[in-house]
Structure 1
Amino acid sequence: MAAKSTGPSGSALRWLGVAAAPAALALGFLWAGGWLSPNRVTQDRLMAELHDAGSYGQGFRRAHSKGVCVTGRFDASGAAASVSKAAIFQEQSVPVVGRFALGAGQPYVTDNPATVRSMALRFMPKDAPEWRAAMNNPPVLPLRDVQDASDFFSSQRIDPATGKTDPARVKAFGAAHPWLQAAAEKNAHRVITSGFADDTYHSLNSFLLVGETGTKTAVRWAMVPVQPVAPADAAAGGRDYLFQRLIADIHDHPLQWHMVLTVAGPHDAVNDPSQIWADGDQTIDAGTLTLSAVESEDGGPCTGLTFDPLILPPGIVASADPILQLRSGAYMRSFSLRSGEKREPSAITPAMTQAPAAESEKKS
């Protein structure tokens, strides 16, 4: 859990999340899944559980609240065109708007290398529908379904007397959900890298790629860094040091990742995101993401976006993974709430994202 921090208003801040989405599509999934029936997990219930777990709100995303905007392009390799008719997988350069963030509901939280990091992207091919994707750096999601998610958020409830979660409640969640143990252990042993630039970001959920003939191929994917990977520096620190390092890296040179698709094997669980897939599964290098500019969310191009994972183009469809509907519905409700709230300035200000004067002069 991220540490407690204080923002400009002096309010206490705390933990957790995911982020954003459009209404009609999400409501359709919610209705079809029975979320709006009595005694089911609803959007408002999830938002209340996030609030009780320390989500700051007040105009910010209910989760992954601290972030920056990035822009660049995606260049397809053509290798995935045989399994998907999506425009992004053809050999062309596609403009991208994205966002890096920390997976906490606190917009002024102090950067911590162990906090979940996220990469969210909006691919905008010319003359074709867009695609939005939201990825995290843990390799697997330690939640099986909507009830698991609700139980987990409830276990993270902040005790007003201590300002912290109750360790007994957290332990009880683990004991009551033994089927999630393997995923939690996998994530606990992941490599913690030095920053956003050298981290790998995973889709977590499974999707189906649709080919020209209608064939469907189940995949998960990861954005794998081209930059050399270095372990987290225990001596590094500062409230915003991870973002400051990302900003410096992008100003120094464009950052790149390979989009690596993992094709589900015969024994892989496609619709359960808590299940680890086999190490020997087929992979496809679908192309290269290049990010060349960074901006503050105060006026940046990603600020008004929701990175709903169910905004999919022809050639990519959702699997039956129930967490996909959960994420889409939560993003929709989060977006609706923050759209009607007055927002304080971001922790990462426009001035912080500017290139150093010497570099600006050199480029001009």
Structure 2
Amino acid sequence: MTTHKLTLSPEQLFMGSILLVNGGNYLYNLILGRLLTPAVFAEAALLITLLLILSFMGMTFQLAMAKFTVIFSGSTWKAFHRYIYKAGLFTGVGIGLLVVALAPALQQLFNTSNFWMFTAFGFGVPLYFLMSIKRGKDHGKQHYSRLSLSYQAEMWSRLLLTLAALLLLPAKPGLLVGMGIAASFLFGLVPGGINLNVFKIKERLKPTAHSHVSRFILITASYEFTQIIINNSDILLVKHFFENTDAGLYASLALIGRVVYFVAWMFVMLLLPAVLERQKRGENTNPLLYKYVMYIGMFASTIILGCYLFPEVIIQLMFGKAYLPMAGLLWQYALATSLFAISNIFAYYFLCLDDYIPVMWSGIFGISQVLLIILFHSSLDMVVQLQIVVMTFLLISQLIYFAYKNIMR
């Protein structure tokens, strides 16, 4: 009688790891929500939103590193390796210094109790860009075990360091959260580390390769900017237009509703190298897209239904009674996020194939969302419902474009 061992593929292990990371990040947010009042939690949520914005910026370099790790080889790969690290470090230092310099202005803009929280965050920015590039290399080579370790190290260090700081140190909570976030980037760099010899490489990218890389980075950066607008502008605008208590309540709503988006990212990470490899072999890439859209659609439907049927139970379990006023909006926010997550799968699919029209759609609808919230923000209900409308039209535009591209083949 033979026995069969149950073995998991690297991709399955990575999916499990990312689910654990998302769970840990939710635990991090829940602990902050439980320890802090809604008004104070609004400041912590602001830093978490800035972290999400930073993650979109870093994703430009991570995706570029992943894509060209698959495409380039030999001296061209060496030249690109040097180029991407220098560009990432330059960008990270520049943005970090800008955040530190503008910290007092950010305090005034977002009505926070101090500006040191922004200063602490700014010092960590260069580390995040280096970490993103290192992850991109592991991503492109499909070294999912090392990639998973990086995400785990970042998440657990942020959770444990922030919790310890809040319980043991007398400083302002916003500053402690900012310090915990910055320190976690250093831990995320540890698995695999960075070979500093990359900065000594003498090879230079040839004009054609340089043009290809520059175009991809520019277009990807533009798309990530639209992601920043769509995924974070609502929290920033609510923090600006509403009282701190309302902003804290809305932040709890957003953190629960965005679970769909965070899970969708897991599939985007798996989609990118798979599409590039299949395209390289001249095979049809559509089945991959169908598979991941189906996964996200099924998961999103489950989350929306749960938020519709049990909103009070979910909010009370996760954040407590103080956040119950948001119960009626929970399923609506989950719907808006789900529409965006599915649209995102289409956009990244086309981005892999060097088709940038969906980036334009995302930019148009992202700006529309910001303008609509600025003009119409009489209540939190209106803010959420405007997002549902905009995200519905964004998804429709992506579906129409996908159908058009397949008809024209």
Compare CA radii of gyration and give the structure with the larger one.
2
**Structure in which a larger fraction of residues adopt helix:** 2
TM-score, length-scaled by structure 1 = 0.27
Question: Comparing both chains, which one has the higher relative contact order based on Cα–Cα distances under 8 Å and sequence gaps of 6 or more?
Answer: 1
**Structure in which a larger fraction of residues adopt strand:** 1
TM-score, length-scaled by structure 2 = 0.25
